């Protein structure tokens, strides 16, 4: 068995030297446990935060992450060899799991590939769905801005928003290629590269008549621009702050227009998807029929080979992915 372990805390952007691949004997399942071979791994922006925290990722110990695997051996009758399960013992080739720590992968039929369970139907899609429906309460015809719209949560939000009947859909991204992807493939009405100028000006140009709802995962200048562009009684669902992930000692300044929240009666609500696990079945009911029909597509960047998981993680942080970044076991049809 091989595990990935973090060996030191980062100072700025992480480097490959902060990780070690550690080989150890294959564990044998004890009563009440099962041995799982991991097949598909999710690398997520929140992992960057975990790198700075003793409470989340302990140094020189196996790391945590969302994973899909197949049961190889079991001493729990509820976990049978061959079963596919979702769990959080990622960043390793194999894991010992208990029944309470896994969720069976349901057979949802044609049109729902394995990758869907770690993207649109996983924590990524759940973040987008909860942000739009429970936090911001997007209504048909309302105009929406999605920051980091070419990433995992952003692409899911864009596709969900169209199905929910959103009006004008605007997104930000980090390159001209991603801007084109948003407008040509995902149905965004307008998008911009945030490197092309002040975000407040770029968003004002893309949404000249204002916005009703924002799903923000960036913070910093994107949050300030969102506040400026929102109409009265607008809503912001705040799901992350990637703008400060590599500079926790000196994060970007708070939006200079925070008082506009009061002036325009804007509601800003942050949320953790882990507090909305009860929405999982609701997400399935919403998304699965559209996946089966082909109306809802996956946006994923899949890196093959567990040995490339660190490369995939760092590439995701640099924005090299379009859609959800996943790592697949070599030869897996994800």
pLDDT of 84-93, one tens digit each? 999 999 999 9
The DSSP symbol for 166 reads -
Counting residues of the chain whose pLDDT is more than 90, the rounded percentage is: 87
Residue 54 domain boundaries: 2-112+298-328
**What CATH number corresponds to the domain at position 219?**
3.40.50.720
* Contact between 109 and 291 (Cβ < 8 Å): no
**Full-model pTM:** 0.93
The DSSP symbol for 264 reads T
* Residue 255 and residue 170 share a domain: yes
Residue 1: band (very low, low, confident or very high) from pLDDT cuts 50, 70, 90 = very high
In this predicted structure, what is the pLDDT of residue 49? 86
* Residue 309 and residue 225 share a domain: no
The DSSP result for 236-253, as a single string, is: EEE---GGGTT-TTSPPP
In this predicted structure, what is the pLDDT of residue 333? 83
Higher pLDDT, 107 or 180: 180
* Residue 41 and residue 78 share a domain: yes
In this predicted structure, what is the pLDDT of residue 245? 61
* Residue 306 and residue 181 share a domain: no
**What confidence tens digit (pLDDT) does each residue in 220-277 have?**
999 999 999 999 999 999 998 776 665 555 667 779 999 999 999 999 999 999 899 9
* Contact between 105 and 85 (Cβ < 8 Å): yes
**What confidence tens digit (pLDDT) does each residue in 154-196 have?**
999 999 999 999 999 999 999 999 999 999 999 999 999 999 9
How far, CA to CA in Å, does 315 sit from each of 45, 59, 132?
A: 11, 22, 27
* Residue 259 and residue 149 share a domain: yes
In this predicted structure, what is the pLDDT of residue 334? 78
Candidates 80, 155, 145, 165; CA nearest to 115 is 155
Mean pLDDT of 93-110: 93
In this predicted structure, what is the pLDDT of residue 293? 94
* Residue 144 and residue 105 share a domain: no
As a whole number of angstroms, the distance between CA 151 and CA 174 comes to 10
As a whole number of angstroms, the distance between CA 334 and CA 322 comes to 16
* Residue 179 and residue 46 share a domain: no
Does residue 266 lie in a domain region? yes
Does residue 146 lie in a domain region? yes
In this predicted structure, what is the pLDDT of residue 240? 83
Mean pLDDT of 29-44: 97
The DSSP symbol for 111 reads T
* Residue 97 and residue 137 share a domain: no
**What confidence tens digit (pLDDT) does each residue in 46-88 have?**
899 889 888 888 999 999 999 999 999 999 999 999 999 999 9
In this predicted structure, what is the pLDDT of residue 110? 84
Token digits of residue 241: 């702050």
In this predicted structure, what is the pLDDT of residue 250? 62
Does residue 102 lie in a domain region? yes
* Contact between 243 and 252 (Cβ < 8 Å): yes
* Residue 137 and residue 106 share a domain: no
**What CATH number corresponds to the domain at position 39?**
3.90.180.10
Token digits of residue 84: 């596919």
What is the domain count for the chain? 2
Q: Which residue has the tokens 């801005």?
A: 145
**What confidence tens digit (pLDDT) does each residue in 136-157 have?**
999 999 999 999 999 999 999 9
In this predicted structure, what is the pLDDT of residue 249? 53
Counting residues of the chain whose pLDDT is more than 70, the rounded percentage is: 97
Burial 85-122 (b: 16+ CB within 10 A, else e): bbbbbbbbbbbbbeeeebeebeebeebbebbbbbbbbb
* Residue 128 and residue 81 share a domain: no
Collapse the DSSP code of 214 into the 3-class scheme (helix H, G, I; strand E, B; otherwise coil) and give the result: strand
Q: Parallel, antiparallel, or unpaired: how do β-strands 33-42 and 67-74 relate?
A: antiparallel
Residues with Cβ within 8 Å of 37's Cβ and at least 6 positions away in sequence, in order, are 69, 70, 72, 93, 94
Mean pLDDT of 32-52: 94
* Residue 73 and residue 20 share a domain: yes
* Contact between 327 and 91 (Cβ < 8 Å): no
């Amino acid at each position: 068995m091989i595990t990935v372990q973090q060996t030191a805390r980062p100072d700025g952007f992480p480097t490959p030297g902060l990780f070690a691949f550690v080989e150890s004997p294959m564990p044998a399942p004890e009563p009440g446990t099962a041995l799982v071979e991991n097949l598909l791994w999710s690398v997520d922006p929140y992992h960057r935060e975990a790198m700075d925290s003793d409470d989340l990722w302990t140094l020189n110990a196996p790391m945590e992450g969302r994973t899909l695997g197949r049961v190889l051996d079991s001493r729990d009758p509820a976990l049978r060899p061959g079963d596919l399960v979702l769990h959080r013992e990622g960043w390793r080739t194999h894991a010992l799991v208990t029944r309470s720590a896994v969720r069976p992968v349901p057979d949802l039929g044609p049109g729902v590939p394995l990758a869907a369970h770690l993207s649109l139907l996983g924590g990524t899609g759940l973040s987008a769905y909860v942000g739009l429906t429970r936090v911001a309460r997007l209504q048909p015809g309302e105009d929406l801005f999605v920051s980091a719209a070419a990433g995992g949560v952003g692409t899911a939000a864009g596709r969900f928003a169209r199905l929910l009947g959103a009006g004008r859909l605007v997104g930000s991204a980090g390159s001209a290629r991603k801007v084109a992807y948003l407008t040509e493939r995902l149905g965004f009405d307008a998008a911009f590269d945030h490197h092309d100028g002040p975000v407040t000006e770029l968003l004002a140009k893309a949404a000249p008549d204002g916005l009703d709802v924002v799903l923000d995962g960036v913070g910093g200048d994107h949050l300030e621009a969102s506040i400026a562009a929102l109409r009265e009684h607008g809503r912001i669902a705040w799901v992350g702050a990637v703008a400060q992930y590599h500079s926790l000692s000196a994060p970007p300044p708070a939006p200079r227009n925070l008082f506009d929240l009061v002036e325009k009666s804007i509601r800003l609500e942050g949320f953790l998807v882990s507090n909305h696990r009860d929405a999982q079945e609701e997400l399935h009911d919403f998304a699965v029929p559209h996946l089966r029909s082909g109306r809802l597509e996956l946006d994923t960047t899949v890196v093959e080979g567990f040995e490339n998981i660190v490369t995939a993680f760092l590439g995701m942080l640099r924005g090299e992915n379009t859609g959800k970044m996943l790592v697949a076991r070599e030869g897996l049809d994800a």
